[in-house]
């Protein structure tokens, strides 16, 4: 176990509301399970899961101000959907973590990105399937799929997210669409082989 995990837990428990703290623990445990399944280092996966929402203790306006002050790039689209910005700010804030894979996974856990690395995928999927989640359609199917085919689970989550946001008329960050399009193309390439 990473020796800093107890310290991270303590900091998060002070910064986050109880529900968000419990979600962070659950995502960390889910990341551990997926890391074991896919042969990724467990400690890195646990840290990424634990810290993925470390900036969620701040409201959107505060996150925008902090990003501007720290020189973190904010796109116009992120200003339209500021809820996704906690990922970028969280990667900056992540309690003296210097492991670039962990920081990258935290930074893209809300929108995904084309050509995600294994930890990026593990965190993105774990955030969606963790045990306390219960609102998404077909969640039991996605949970099972996550342990059978991580890329297919990722694709199904992206597609479901876009369909849900579209049905609500909600703004979709273009990076989510770009990520979906990338993995849709990858999926087509596999079926044409």
pLDDT at 16: 86
**pLDDT at residue 2, rounded to an integer:** 65
**Residues 151/188, Cβ–Cβ less than 8 Å:** no
Q: What is the C-alpha separation between 96 and 78, in angstroms, rounded?
A: 25
- The DSSP annotation for 6-46 comes to HHHHHHHHHHS-HHHHHHHHHHHHHHHHHHHHHT--HHHHH
The segment with the largest mean pLDDT, out of 39-48, 62-71, 181-190, is 39-48
Of the candidates 185, 184, 158, the residue with the CA atom closest to the CA atom of residue 172: 158
What is the reported pLDDT for 152?
Answer: 95
Average pLDDT, the chain: 88
Is the predicted pLDDT of residue 172 greater than 70, yes or no? yes
CB 183 within 8 A of CB 158: yes
- Residue 99 phi/psi, 5-degree rounding, is -75, 110
pLDDT tens profile 99-118 = 899 999 999 998 999 999 99
Separation in Å, CA 84 to CA 21, 56, 129, 169, 181: 18, 10, 18, 17, 19
- Residues 126-163 pLDDT 10s: 999 999 888 877 899 999 999 999 999 999 999 998 98
Looking at residue 192, what is its pLDDT?
A: 54
Tens digits of residue pLDDT in 175-189: 899 999 999 998 877
């Amino acid at each position: 176990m990473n020796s800093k995990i107890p310290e991270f837990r303590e900091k998060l428990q002070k910064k986050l509301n109880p529900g968000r703290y419990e979600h962070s623990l659950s995502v960390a445990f889910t990341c551990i399970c997926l890391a074991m399944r896919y042969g990724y280092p467990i400690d890195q996966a646990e840290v990424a899961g634990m810290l993925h929402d470390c900036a969620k203790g701040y409201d959107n306006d505060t996150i925008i101000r902090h990003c501007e002050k720290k020189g973190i790039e904010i796109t116009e689209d992120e200003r339209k959907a500021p809820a996704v910005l906690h990922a970028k700010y969280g990667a900056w804030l992540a309690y003296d973590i210097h492991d670039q894979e962990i920081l990258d996974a935290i930074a893209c856990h809300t929108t995904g990105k084309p050509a995600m690395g294994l930890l990026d995928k593990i965190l993105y999927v774990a955030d969606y399937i963790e045990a306390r989640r219960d609102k998404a359609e077909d969640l039991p199917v996605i949970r099972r799929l996550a342990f059978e085919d991580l890329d297919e689970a990722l694709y199904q989550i992206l597609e479901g997210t876009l369909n849900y946001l579209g049905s609500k008329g909600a703004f979709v960050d273009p990076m989510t669409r770009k990520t979906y399009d990338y993995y849709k193309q990858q999926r087509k390439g596999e079926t044409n082989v």
